[in-house]
Structure 1
Amino acid sequence: MDEQSMENSESDLNLELETLRKRVIKAQKPLTIAIIGQHGCGKSSFLNTVMAVLRGEYHENALVGNFEDEGEHVTRRLTRYPKTRYLDESSVEDFTQKWPTFVDMMGFQNAGDEGVRKILDSIINGCFKDGTKLNTSLRNKRDVVDFLQQFYYGEEISRKVDRIIFVASAISKELPCELIRALVSQAMDGRRDVPIFGVLTHADKAEERDPDFEEKFKRSLGLNDQRFLLCSNYCDNIPPQENRVPRVEVPIARFLQQVLNPSRHVFQEKPDFVEYVRRLINVPLKVVLEYALFLLFFFLFTMKDFLPFLFILVLTMLLTKFSLMLSLHFWPENLNLGVGTMLRDARSNDFKQDSIFMKACVFSSSTGMLVCIIAVEVLLFLLWCGKGKSKNRQKSPELDISEPVMENSVAVVSFSERNKDLHLKIARSVISSFEIYQVYLGGMTNISTIGLPSKVCLVFVDKNERNIILETDVDVSRTRASFVEGQIKKGRTQVIVIYCQHAGSHNMTRLYDRSLGNINKQETLRQLQRQNRVLSIDTEFSDYQSNHLKTILNEALC
């Protein structure tokens, strides 16, 4: 804790709170602020402290804690905290003002793969409702549904994130570079650039802090001093008290003034969506009809199933004729007018008040005709694709499908670029007479489909704070688990998982440390453990583990 924060008094706190209140009064709308960071960095504690600053007293709104041995999250769902959830209407002055909405969520791992980027993009653009399980949304991968949610939900504008606060622990040993790069790329993608702020918690543990960590953190997020905060939270070494603690709350109140500064704008492209659609479909109406009939006859005479397409053809002609008759009745002189122009004019206010009925008819008939044509063409295309696939399935027995030739070699797989050389060195200590391939999988996509030519694969996982060897269902990113599960499913490579740099596994007389709860909790690890293919080490194998590995390698490769 720096000297300035130690000198903060209650009068300083009152002054900063008054300045903060004025910022809220000047706000044009309630800002949505997302709190993002790794698991165990103090996100929820920081959020509770922020709410205590705004409310005037501490409450555990966001659940705090972790299950380190089991690798579990306390915060599992995306949770929104509007002012009604953290302010008391009867005790807070200016309750009716536009106080911000905070978004809390489960912690991310230090990963920047496609799944993490997709989740971050959806959070920033307000695609998730309150209470959404982020890991479930990632596993379902309903890309189209997630995209349409932005247009379907009525509150999508209020759910879009206006500020991002990235939280990390000042006593962390390693900067979450992969996660930070993923966040910055999604928050500053050019479509909607959202201001990013940074917070380092555990400022009170100065003796455990790396002096260079703060500068690395600020550089990685592109922060200046106004968008950075080094603070302590309630529930760390500073328990909540009945009286306010100025040395905790004053720095946070000053930081919130910068976060809520109305001069910081979210840059967002504002394309004229209606004009874009109008230009896209602005072709003469008769051309649309001619094109639709041409495609209809083309599919009809290239298919043998005549009767279903004849029925569709007749139905389409009847619907088209009805739509045309309705349009010509109200607007006979404008059949050659572009469809996009018709839709634009029909929804505009250029008509007189007595023509509202005509506007409704023209708009409904034109839109209905387009919808019918598109639906018919999509149906015909799907039927055509289905017929082509059925033909391919009939010919498939004639194809010569052969299994790839597997090599008598060992693949050494790493997910950390910094430690891949250490992994190779550890592997060479037990592999002397077989060829070794080094494989680095950091940042790769579709990782479950990767195929290896080696008969044996040593998967190295580095020590992490939650002792997660392979991710479970509660984790957002499942990079390591997806890779291992993919190799086991293929059944061509024998997989051995090695958890390394774990101090409790130094010179063991068994294969792994029994206190690692993830081995018993993760289904794939349980399967490998029953086959004696899970090991935990420090920086080298013990004699017992080395002999065990040599036995497996000799049986598989000799």
Structure 2
Amino acid sequence: MDMDEDELHEENSDGDLIYERDTKEDNCEVTDEEDGHCYERKQELLQDCKRLTENVRKPLNVAIIGPQGCGKSSFLNTVFASLNSDRWYEYAKIGKFGNHEGVMGMQVTRRLRSFPKEEYYRQNEFCMLPTFIDMTGFENDDSVITEELLFLVLSGKVKEKESLNDIATHGRLHGITTMKNEYRKRSPNRRINRIIIVCSLNPDSAMPTALFKSVVNVANDLGNTEIT
């Protein structure tokens, strides 16, 4: 059925015909904002945005743990080089490796050091890569001091560039209770999400089984930490 032309058009001040839009199509204006379907839709969109924001994952913090001089920094440099195509670069300082039976490499890393993605990978700013945490090597034992030091590292209580040896020495001098009271009250810096354990390839070097045991015990106590 044809509609009357007057129902579709009206004249403007110059006498030209203009199209009269259907007011039902875009009339979302209401006196009380909460009464219209537009308000309900807006609330739905806000909730969707909130859920998306909350679900955005933060980069993981990956700790590199191992005995003294086992090649943790060399491992990190190899990882960083494999991610970049331009050239090899020594991000983490490395020492000389021992070449006698049972001799480990010379330890260079003395303090906790973080390597966020911005420091080792700049080819794609939208690529989410982890923050790697390098640190001094641990003694191969499962003493309460070693386990507490591991707890402080994995829970993010050790500050950037802080000496782990100083913390361990403080515990040996003043006791494990004082060590816990002193450092556990700190606000976390970088809580560790993943652990990579590095060992020497030297077949004459003993496996650090006591250290493995300590790492597993502490990681299980903390939870939400995976070991590789």
TM-score, scaled relative to structure 2: 0.64
Residue 131 and residue 72 in structure 1: after superposition, are their counterparts in 2 closer, same or farther (change >3 A)? Answer: same
Question: What's the counterpart of residue 185 of structure 2?
Answer: 148
Aligned-pair CA distance for 1:99: 1.9
Question: What's the counterpart of residue 499 of structure 1?
Answer: none
Question: What's the counterpart of residue 179 of structure 1?
Answer: 211
Question: What's the counterpart of residue 81 of structure 1?
Answer: 115
1:108-165 Cα offsets, whole Å, 9 max, x none, are: 2211111111111111000011101000011223422311113xxxxx3x60000000
Question: What's the counterpart of residue 225 of structure 2?
Answer: 194
Residue 142 (structure 2) aligned to one of 112, 117, 123: 112
1:28 alignment partner AA: R
1:152-199 Cα offsets, whole Å, 9 max, x none, are: xxxx3x60000000011233332111111011100112x4241100xx
How far apart in 2 are the matches of 1:172 and 1:137?
A: 32
Residue 66 and residue 107 in structure 1: after superposition, are their counterparts in 2 closer, same or farther (change >3 A)? Answer: farther
1:257-280 Cα offsets, whole Å, 9 max, x none, are: xxxxxxxxxxxxxxxxxxxxxxxx
Matches within 5 A, 1:395-414: none
1:364-413 Cα offsets, whole Å, 9 max, x none, are: xxxxxxxxxxxxxxxxxxxxxxxxxxxxxxxxxxxxxxxxxxxxxxxxxx
Output the aligned Cα RMSD: 2.3
| Ranges in structure 2 where 5+ consecutive residues have no aligned partner | 1-54, 172-178
- Residue correspondences, number: 161
Aligned-pair CA distance for 1:27: 7.1
Residue 41 and residue 70 in structure 1: after superposition, are their counterparts in 2 closer, same or farther (change >3 A)? Answer: closer
1:75 alignment partner AA: T
Question: What's the counterpart of residue 123 of structure 1?
Answer: 153
Matches within 5 A, 1:64-463: 64-66=94-96, 73-88=107-122, 92-93=123-124, 95-141=125-171, 142-150=179-187, 156=188, 159-173=190-204, 174-189=206-221, 191-197=222-228
CA contact (8 A) 1:28 1:98 kept: no
CA contact (8 A) 1:27 1:98 kept: no
Task: Extract structure 1 runs of 4+ deviating beyond 3 A.
Answer: 66-72
TM-score, scaled relative to structure 1: 0.27
How far apart in 2 are the matches of 1:120 and 1:178?
A: 13
How far apart in 2 are the matches of 1:70 and 1:164?
A: 21
- Identity across aligned pairs (percent)? 36
Residue 73 (structure 2) aligned to one of 44, 52, 56: 44
Aligned-pair CA distance for 1:71: 8.3
1:63 alignment partner AA: K
Greater fraction helix: 1
| Ranges in structure 1 where 5+ consecutive residues have no aligned partner | 1-25, 151-155, 198-558
How far apart in 2 are the matches of 1:111 and 1:132?
A: 22
CA contact (8 A) 2:65 2:195 kept: yes
Task: Please tell me whether residue 53 in structure 1 is matched to residue 86 in structure 2.
Answer: no
Aligned-pair CA distance for 1:72: 5.2
How far apart in 1 are the matches of 2:56 and 2:88?
A: 25
